[in-house]
Amino acid sequence: MSEAGALSENVTPAETYADLVTAIEAPRAILMMVPAGKPVDEVIAALTPLLSPGDLLIDGGNANFHDTNRRVAETGAIDFLGVGVSGGEEGARHGPSMMAGGDRGTWARVAPIFTAIAAKHKGEACAAWLGPEGAGHFVKTVHNGSEYADMQMIAEGYGILRDGMGMAAPEMAPVFVGWNGGRLKSYLIEITAEVLAATDGATGGPVLEVIVDAAGQKGTGRWTAIEAQHLGAPVPVIDAAVTARNLSARREARGMGQAAFGAAPMPLDSLSQADLESALIAGKILCYDQGFGMLAAAGAQYDWQLDLPAIARVWREGCIIRSAMLDDMAQAFEEDVARDLMLAPVFAALLAEHHDGLRRVVAEASRHGLPVPALSAALSYFDAMRTARGTADMIQAQRDYFGRHGFVRLDTGAEHQHGPWAD
């Protein structure tokens, strides 16, 4: 209790679930912040017999939205909300971003509490009801997938500066500080500059030099990739970021690969820092275009009617992917929610300005042997999205040839057509 300081007078200790329930006046609202999966079900199983109809359980963890859907159905007379919470340690101290799913009336009961503690953007709380059932946790999942992608693209830029241009971490820090003053202004770019400038207390060198190059993950990025496949929603930048994390774990195999084939040579002097900045600007826009496209697909699939402008607004402060671009994204969706984000005038103009930089970075990195999987995926997506007539006619012809799957005629629109090979 003494550790609570000035808040100690408002804290009531409870050693058992029964003590907790007894201490709260009905109708109760209990927020659970425990690891996702089985621990949540165990807490629900322990609390439910002690609760009364109309009491409310709130899961604020990184739950899989399928589990949240199930829990909404299973808790019966006990109300249930699934609230995705983002912000990490800083969000816990200064206000997170919160994405709620469940019954809208139930959210209204506790909304004043959540909006009071949420991060604020120009006075507007970054907490909102986003849809029924597991909609809030689904939005948080896509948030985390976008986070994976953003981090991977930044890491690829760092890799080019380090392994292609021979820059030490302290030299790179001012580069990221400069980028954070422009279109790339965001929490992740900001902390990247701080990480690059940090010194290891034991060695006196850059702290990055003592960190094992194997990225951990809790699974939410992987869930994004899996659910995107179920929805038929293309998210290649997120897919590439998840694969890159998996590949990072294969350190021994990568060491053997370098011994067998050699490392990328230095210097890579055909790229500028401005090219890298352009690549990250274009890659970020294309990544978010994919993420919001996935949210739109889920809204249609599950009849959630997800509010894309509200989602963009909720992400503007408090969460890990907060960035200056999200203001423009919210405005773009308010103007035309059905339009692809990359086609909104502000982002179409940015892509027109910066996609050549993305192309130069991907091309030169590939020629030089530097891995840029997420940036490459962003470029391929951009090129596919600006190609009015693609190459899937060949795939449909092949499918019809070996399986009589049929095709649609381009000239007449007739369906279930077959090629001459069918004879």
Active-site positions read 140, 147
Strand stretches in 23-149, DSSP E: 29-32, 56-59, 79-86, 97-102, 120-121, 124-125, 127-131
> What is the radius of gyration, based on Cα positions, of the chain?
24
What does the alpha-carbon distance between residue 264 and residue 255 come to, in Å, rounded to a whole number?
13
Check whether the bond before 35 is cis (ω within 30° of 0): no
Which residues, other chains included, contact 314 with Cβ-Cβ below 8 Å and sequence gap of 6+? Answer: 97, 98, 99, 126, 127, 128, 130
Phi then psi for residue 410, to 5 deg, are -70, -35
DSSP tag of 160: I
- 17 burial type by CB count under 10 A (0-12 exposed, 13-18 middle, 19+ buried): middle
What does the alpha-carbon distance between residue 120 and residue 130 come to, in Å, rounded to a whole number?
17
Q: Which residues pair with 129 in a beta bridge?
A: 100
382: left (phi over 0), alpha (psi -120 to 50) or beta: alpha
Q: What are the C-alpha distances in Å from 400 to residues 232, 410, 412, 415?
A: 21, 15, 18, 12
Number of H helices, E strands in the chain: 17, 7
For helices 220-231 and 135-159, give the axis angle rounded to 10 degrees. Answer: 110
DSSP tag of 159: H
Q: What are the C-alpha distances in Å from 43 to residues 25, 163, 324?
A: 19, 48, 38
Report yes or no: 138 and 60 within 8 Å, Cβ to Cβ: no
Which residues, other chains included, contact 230 with Cβ-Cβ below 8 Å and sequence gap of 6+? Answer: none
340: left (phi over 0), alpha (psi -120 to 50) or beta: beta
Residue 275 tokens read as 């090219």
